Structure 1
Amino acid sequence: MAPPHGHARHGAHTTGPTRRSLLAGVAAVGALGAAGCSRVATASTENGGDLLDRLRAQGVVRLGIAGEIPFGYIDKNGELTGEAPELARVIFKRLGVDKVQPVPTEFGSLIPGLNSQQFDVVAAGMYVNPERCAQVIFADPDYQMLDSFIVRKGNPKGLHTYRDIVAKKAKFATGTGYAEIQYAVEAGYEESDILIVPDQVAGLNAVETGRVDVFAGTAVTVRDVVKKSSKAEATKPFAPLVKGKPHVDGGAFAFRRTETTLRDAFNAELHKLKKSGELLRILRPFGFTRAEMTDLTAKELCGG
Structure 2
Amino acid sequence: MLKISLGTFRSLFMGGVALVAMGAPRLNAQAKTTLERIISSGKITIGIHNRAPWGFRGADGQATGFHPDLIRAAFAPLGVKEVEFVIADLGALIPGLLADRTEAVASGFSITPARCEQVAFGEPELAIGDAVIVQAGNPHGIHSYADIVKNPKLSIGGSRGSANLANARAAGIPASQIQQFQNTESSVSAIMAGRVQAVAFSSGSVVSLLQDPRVTGLERAMPFQGYIKPDGKPAANYSGIAFRKGDAELKAAYDKRLAELKADGGLVAIAKRYGFTADEIAPDSVKAAELCADKM
Post-superposition offset of 1:132: 1.3
CA distance in 2, matches of 1:140, 1:251: 9
- The match for 1:69 is 52
Question: Structure 1: how far apart are the matches of 2:243 and 2:71?
Answer: 13
Shift of 1:198: 3.5
Partner of 2:279: 291
CA distance in 1, matches of 2:202, 2:114: 21
Which segments of 5 or more consecutive residues in structure 2 lack a partner in the other structure? 1-26
2:249 counterpart of 1:252: no
Q: Aligned equivalents of 1:178 and 1:273: distance in 2?
A: 33
Does the 8 Å CA contact 2:123/2:240 hold for their aligned counterparts? yes
Are residues 117 and 221 of structure 1, via their aligned partners in 2, closer, same or farther at CA, if it must alter by over 3 Å? same
Which residue identity does 2:181 align to in structure 1?
L
- Displacement, 1:118? 1.9
> 1:120 aligns to what?
103
**Shift in alpha-carbon separation, 1:270–1:224, aligned structure 2, 3 A:** same
Matched, 1:237 2:224: yes
8 Å CA contact 2:52, 2:208 repeated in 1: no
User: Equivalent residue for 1:28?
Assistant: none
Moved more, 213-222 or 150-159: 150-159
How many residues were matched structurally?
254
Checking the alignment, whether the CA contact within 8 Å between 1:91 and 1:266 is kept in structure 2 is yes
Give SS of 1:291's match.
helix
- Taking only the aligned residue pairs, the percentage that are identical comes to 28
Gaps of 5+ in 1: 1-43
Does the 8 Å CA contact 1:128/1:301 hold for their aligned counterparts? Answer: yes
Q: Distance in 2 between matches of 1:241 and 1:272?
A: 29
- Report how far residue 159 of structure 1 moved: 7.2
Length-normalised TM-score, structure 2: 0.73
Matches of 1:53 and 1:107, distance apart in 2: 28
Equivalent in 129, 132, 143 of residue 149 of structure 1: 132
In structure 2, the residue matched to 1:15 is none
Q: Tell me the CA shift for residue 165 of structure 1.
A: 6.4
1:219 aligns with 2:203: yes
Q: Which residue of 1 aligns with 2:15?
A: none
- How far apart are residue 225 of structure 1 and its match? 4.8
Q: 1:248-285 deviations in whole A, cap 9, x for unaligned? A: 22111110111111100110111111111111122321
One-letter code aligned to 1:204 = V
How does the TM-score come out when normalised to structure 1?
0.71
Specify the structure having the higher radius of gyration (Cα).
2
2:188 aligned with 1:204 = yes
Q: Hey, which of these two has a bigger chunk of helix by percent?
A: 2
Equivalent residue of 2:124, what SS?
coil
Q: Deviations over 1:112-165 (max 9, x none)?
A: 221122211001121112111121111111222221112345454957228946
Once residues 292 and 180 of structure 2 are traced to their aligned partners in structure 1, the CA distance between those partners, rounded to angstroms, is: 30
Query: In the alignment, what sits opposite 1:138?
Result: 121
Partners of 1:160 and 1:235 within 8 A in 2: no
Change (3 A) 1:97 1:230: closer
